[in-house]
Amino acid sequence: MNDYLLYSCIAFILSTVFSMGGTGSGIALIPILAFLGLDFTVAKAVGLFAGASTTITSSIMNLKRKVLDLQFVWPIALMMLLFAPLGAYCSQFFNEQLIKFLFMLLLFYSGSMMLFGKKKSLTQVQGRTILFIVGSLVGFVAGLLGIGGGNILIPLLILLGFEPKKVAVTVSSVVPFAALSSFFTYASYVTLDWILLLCVMLAAIAGGYIGNYLMHFKLDQQKTKKLMGGILYLLALKMLYHFLIG
């Protein structure tokens, strides 16, 4: 019971902070749960479930408000829904240390984008074909690492020259469903504690609601992203430390 309370509190705090920055908390929740003794693969499944729980409401609202550009969304959505479960399935055949190392690199990358990234494109690569390619690659990597994929997808699409506001709405609408499809794939071959999942889900939803409110009415989003970047850097450094001491 004490573990459930601890994990719920962590999920609530992280979901609140990361929702203020407009993203899911899974990328930070996974390494913390692993540091606390949860199996890394189980931690990935829990992180996916929590991340999807906090962001799926915004996806439904975007659909209701009809702010989605479906011609832009559907190639990415289709490829991520196909390749995220594939990545999640293939994860069981990869060396766990390799997965952890790739996850550490992702933490450094995502932290750097939040701390130092600029919303400026490096090129102008447009067209539906590139959307299929991006959706496939990001979906597979996201499933493999057990994340929703938004931390990879948003900066990549912006760097390719797509309009940031359109990208943000698209990613917030696609990622939760890709995360859920990955989660169910992990659930097919990993033994999960469903009470833990329920506790974390409820905490993540509550934190996501509060964080979303604070994002719109109270706090500077840029400062929040600096905080998020700092958290990801600390987690990446801790993972690096564990690799170095073996």
Q: What is the pLDDT of residues 85-96, one digit of tens each?
A: 999 999 999 999
In 103-149, where do the E strands start and end? Answer: none
pLDDT band at 216 (very low <50, low <70, confident <90, very high): low
128, 74 contact by CB (below 8 A): no
pLDDT in tens, 48-85: 998 888 777 666 666 666 666 778 888 998 999 999 99
Range of the domain at 154: 2-245
Domains contained in the chain, number:
1
pLDDT band at 150 (very low <50, low <70, confident <90, very high): confident
State the helix-helix crossing angle for 221-245 and 2-20, rounded to 10 degrees.
130
**C-alpha to C-alpha distance for 118 and 122, rounded to whole angstroms:** 10
Higher pLDDT, 159 or 45: 45
pLDDT of residue 85: 96
Q: Is pLDDT at 218 greater than 70 in this prediction?
A: no
pLDDT of residue 57: 64
93 Cβ contact partners less than 8 Å away, ≥ 6 residues apart: none
Q: What is the average pLDDT value for the chain, to the nearest integer? A: 85
